[in-house]
Chain A
Amino acid sequence: MIQADHLSKCYGDTLAVDDLSFWVGEGEIVGLLGPNGAGKSTTMRILTCFLPATSGTASVAGHDVFTESVAVRRIVGYLPENVPLYSEMRVREYLSYRAKIKGVGRRERTAKIGSAMARCDIGGVAHRVIGQLSKGYRQRVGLADCLIHDPRVLILDEPTVGLDPNQIIAVRSLIKDLSHERTVLLSTHYLGEVEAVCERFLIINEGRLAIEGRLDELRDDTHVELAAVGPVDESRKSLVAIAGVTTVTAEPTGDGGAAYHIGTRSGSDVRQVVFDKMVAGGWKICELHTACRSLEDLFVQVTKDA
């Protein structure tokens, strides 16, 4: 649905996006992650035809973003960072204007505005002036604008920034809801957001794709965390000997024991064997649980290395 091939974008001498290639399949919901200034917004601006790439090509639903830009703009709903809105307009007036310029027909306009407002829960502020709305409402007006022409593709640049926790939950569930019938690419700083709503993630750093993966794969990649008091070297040796264990790292703690990170082959649960070994050795277990690799670990790892 969205395809980027070797995209690069320079602003003067600074290279914002550097040979970036990725794809988003139809109906997928993908999170675009990266530190500040990694090129997330620039990438989204290229995909929504606001800026052309310096080199490389991109297409949305088979339409090239440079040569068939109006066709792309018709099927994409874009929520830019900071949600710029005309502050002197009223909410309904703004949505009606946006529906008109997006080519929503006169007959279906009222119904579509109504359903977009209902979905984003802004019916109560329909007649308020946008400039007087709180950040949360502005964000939702922006989102309603995105949805008004029933786009097949949604590109959302930090859709939950500046919202309170309840609103964040509401917007996330809305995005999840929308993704049943649409393709969604969203960028965010909150890794929890990606874990909550996305199927796949792309982490970019300094304009390059650092890593991409599926969240369910990440969840499968489990390991065992153990904290025990006892001679470190000896316990480590006995842990490595367990069938299914691939790696063991130990980090001594102050109380004479250590925290162990036990990597296992997928599907094998070694917790009971570990318990038995510890008991057999006479060492005291303080903590024993399985954990999966968190997106946060991965994020820090790939963005620090580069």
Chain B
Amino acid sequence: MTGRARQLIAVAGLIAVPAGAVLVAVGFGYESRVVLLVGAVAVVLGCVVGLFSTKVPPLLGRELAAYFQSPIAYVTATVFLVLAGVFFFSSLERYSMLSEKGQAVPGEVMGGMLWPVMVTMIFICPLITMRLLSEEVRSGTIEVLMTAPVTDFEVIISKFLAGLVFYAYLLGMTLIHVLVVWRVGNPDYGPIITMYLGLLLLGAMFLSVGLFVSAFTRNQIVASVVTFVLLMILFMIDGASGYVGGAVKDVCGFVSLYRQSDTFYKGMVDSRHVVYSLSFTGAMLFLTVRAVESRKWR
């Protein structure tokens, strides 16, 4: 790609993102789903197009290749799919029992999976992110990487996106369960879509925490254990609200991922939760860039 084409693409991306954001706000204000969706698509496309004008595609390509060339990917995927299958089966079983009594809620059969899948992801995400930066530091390849003409931001965002793509790949394989539900019944797709959206947003948060932690240690085991502990705290901080009062209680309740997952399960997209998880992810990525940069002043 020539420098000029690259610049044009970057400009297009830079225009699309704020324009899309404005559309999202307008759609939100006037309660127009179409405008809102168009805005959201514009933001996402703008980001993707913008990233294409940087060094992200080759970096991302390498990270993804590294995932699929290592046995960890296949072990992780197998463990996850076995667990997801078990959860789906038990959810299906419960659903069919309720359905005999005439108490079943359409769509709940998939919704019943949200919870256990989310808990599983708390175990899986540290495995996805542990090697991202630790391995570069341990093997010394960080030196060749950071002396190539790429910025710290490009490197971090590529690693994050690689993790997210792998995560989406795991999630995507559970679509087979949706296929089963579609074959045997007539589910309500609303809650299913919001469930996937919720899991994707939660995954982005989990992965950004994992990436951040992996910037601090050259040991993959340490990175994954610390990530796991942090995610657990983030997940269960809700429990602390029973012991504190006032603003702290509210914050604990809101920050907790346990509460976050609730609305997606019910088929709602609460904009507060979307904004929360996106800004949380953004903040973690920013901190990760700073953490990688910190080698320069340590």
Contacts and interface: CB of A to CB of B under 8 A. Distances in A.
B1 interface: yes
Interface string B286-298: 0000000001110
B282 interface: no
A78 B144 contact: yes
A1 interface: no
A22 interface: no
Interface in A97-122: 97-98, 100-103, 105-106
Contacts of A51: 295-296
B296 A84 contact: no
B147 A88 contact: no
Contacts, number: 67
B271 interface: no
B261 to A, nearest CB: 35
B65 interface: yes
Main SS of the interface on chain A? loop
A290 to B, nearest CB: 45
Contacts of B142: 84
A88 B55 contact: no
Contacts of A48: 147
A49 interface: yes
B172 interface: no
Consensus secondary structure, chain B interface: helix
Which of B69, B141, B149 has the most chain A CB within a 10 Å cutoff? Answer: B149
A80 interface: yes
A196 interface: no
Contact of B149 (A73, A88, A93): A73
A80 B140 contact: yes
Chain A interface residue bracket vs B: 20 to 34
A100 B140 contact: no
B66 A86 contact: yes
A73 B147 contact: yes
Nearest to A85: B141
B139 A103 contact: no
Given A88-B66, A101-B55, A78 B139 contact: no
Contact of A52 (B55, B62, B151, B297): B297
B103 interface: no
A243 interface: no
Given A88-B66, A100-B58, A105-B2, A49 B139 contact: no
A21 interface: no
Contacts of A76: 147
A105 to B, nearest CB: 7
B79 interface: no
Nearest to B62: A97
A97 B2 contact: no
Interface residues of B, number: 27
Given A98-B148, A101-B58, A106 B1 contact: yes
Contacts of A294: none
A40 B66 CA distance: 32
A80 B142 CA distance: 11
Contacts of A82: 140
A161 interface: no
- The CB with the most chain A CB atoms within 10 A, among B2, B55, B148, is that of B148
B10 to A, nearest CB: 14
B148 A84 contact: no
A105 B5 CA distance: 12
B148 A101 contact: yes
B283 to A, nearest CB: 25
A101 B59 contact: yes
A89 interface: yes
A87 B151 contact: no
A2 to B, nearest CB: 15
- Which of A49, A74, A84, A101 counts the most B-chain CB atoms under 10 A from its CB? A101
Contacts of A80: 140, 143-144, 147
Contacts of B55: 100-101, 103
B240 interface: no
A50 interface: yes
A87 B65 CA distance: 12
A49 B142 CA distance: 12
Contacts of A93: 65
B150 interface: yes
A73 B148 contact: yes
A102 B2 contact: no
B2 to A, nearest CB: 7
A73 B146 CA distance: 9
20 contacts: A48-B147, A50-B143, A50-B146, A52-B297, A73-B148, A78-B144, A78-B147, A80-B143, A82-B140, A84-B141, A84-B143, A88-B66, A88-B69, A89-B65, A89-B69, A97-B61, A100-B55, A100-B58, A103-B149, A105-B2
Shortest Cβ-Cβ A-B pairs, 9 listed: A84-B140, A100-B58, A73-B149, A84-B141, A74-B149, A48-B147, A80-B143, A88-B69, A78-B147
Interface of A: 45, 48-52, 70, 73-74, 76, 78, 80, 82, 84-89, 93, 97-98, 100-103, 105-106, 145
Given A73-B149, A101-B59, A102-B149, 15 more contacts: A49-B146, A50-B146, A52-B296, A70-B151, A73-B148, A76-B147, A78-B144, A80-B144, A84-B143, A84-B144, A88-B66, A93-B65, A98-B148, A100-B55, A101-B150
